[in-house]
Structure 1
């Protein structure tokens, strides 16, 4: 019975958030007011709020209360995807800002990742990715110069990187591997470009993209924790 009660409260609050009765960043009613509204215990209210937080609808600020999160973009991880395509599918506008671009020598770690000799040339591209003009993700991409000679970095302002790979370099993607990990934002770049505070949690995504059995792209992304939710289908 108690489980059904907090599920009902969860559903009611979720509907109010989705209908925008509560706006993004707005504080929802206090635990005490919710207790009075639904005639239940604080424990039951906290259960409902816990699951709303787990599902990304609200976030809690200690001593201040619970606030409505940005609407998350659900990302299905069962197939190859790109940032721009997923944001477009959600009805939002993706844009990118080029932060830096340089050629660098391949060190021992990157040599192992790409399977090329140390000292080989790599392009290093840092970009800020935005959704409807708001910072969402900071990414650093490495691609090997031997595969992407004279890479047209200026085209990244108007064309997706993967489109450049396919159209200019005839890349045939075979697979991609990603690793996800929550980390604390500690670098000045993260704090500045993502407009967050030191030690805020971001999601680090490390991607290796393959053409046949060769890594042709290695990207490290730091994503704000209120942008995406992730779905994986598990077959039995």
Structure 2
């Protein structure tokens, strides 16, 4: 569809250095001339960008850029808040589930704990500019977090670990898996249930060697992408 092509090109331009957050897109008339398309096509393309939380229509002020696609480098471990970077971008954390469970064989092996040990299970999602963008299931050994509660995870998890608990994070082992979205993922992120997604399986390691989390991260493709530059030796 033509409006999708226009939307993708506008999105690329917004993500580039051509525009900054807070700037205004060219007028509707200018966009019509630039892309040689109808007014309806331009309006549909803009509406798609609104849904992605990238632009906002303001009465009498045109269309303002309020966010960019998050591009995550595979060369460093950072929190979502650190990826967002721009203070003008609104980031919220919503917790769906917070429970204590017993580690089964798989969890015990991944977290390097004993079978049956208590583990926190946290399911939360993140909204970027009010758009649900990241779905996250985390498993964290209770022995490391004697005072953890829901409020601890309503902000950046890494900030809580490093600033509140004084943990030193070394890094994470990350694997990728292709999955079909669950019904709850589809409801939360507004996904097509028939479209496969890429999920990151991340095992976080402290500098003393302890495993501090096992997290399954699923991102809405339109709002977050991953980029890895491979250097030829």
Structures share a fold, TM > 0.5?
A: yes
Q: Is residue 2:70 matched to residue 1:73?
A: yes
By how many angstroms is 1:233 displaced?
2.7
Name segments (4+ residues, structure 1) moved above 6 Å: none
1:184-195 aligned within 5 A: 184-185=180-181, 187-195=182-190
TM-score, normalised with respect to structure 2: 0.69
Contact 2:103-2:114 at 8 Å conserved across structures: yes
CA distance in 1, matches of 2:11, 2:229: 28
Pair member with larger Rg: 1
By how many angstroms is 1:153 displaced?
2.1
1:62-211 aligned within 5 A: 70=52, 71-89=68-86, 91-157=88-154, 159-185=155-181, 187-211=182-206
Moved more, 84-93 or 135-144: 84-93
By how many angstroms is 1:103 displaced?
0.5
**Contiguous gaps of at least 5 residues in structure 1:** 1-9, 24-28, 35-66
User: What is the number of residues matched between the two proteins?
Assistant: 186
CA distance in 2, matches of 1:74, 1:22: 27
By how many angstroms is 1:223 displaced?
1.0
Moved more, 100-109 or 163-172: 163-172
Contact 2:133-2:224 at 8 Å conserved across structures: no
SS at match of 1:89: coil
By how many angstroms is 1:15 displaced?
6.9
CA distance in 2, matches of 1:180, 1:124: 21
By how many angstroms is 1:220 displaced?
0.5
1:22 and 1:207, CA in 2 relative to 1: closer, same or farther beyond 3 A?
A: farther
Moved more, 107-116 or 201-210: 201-210
CA distance in 2, matches of 1:121, 1:113: 14
TM-score, normalised with respect to structure 1: 0.68
CA distance in 1, matches of 2:224, 2:165: 30
CA distance in 2, matches of 1:102, 1:171: 22
1:197 and 1:231, CA in 2 relative to 1: closer, same or farther beyond 3 A?
A: closer
Show the counterpart of 2:43.
none
**Contiguous gaps of at least 5 residues in structure 2:** 15-24, 29-33, 38-46, 53-67
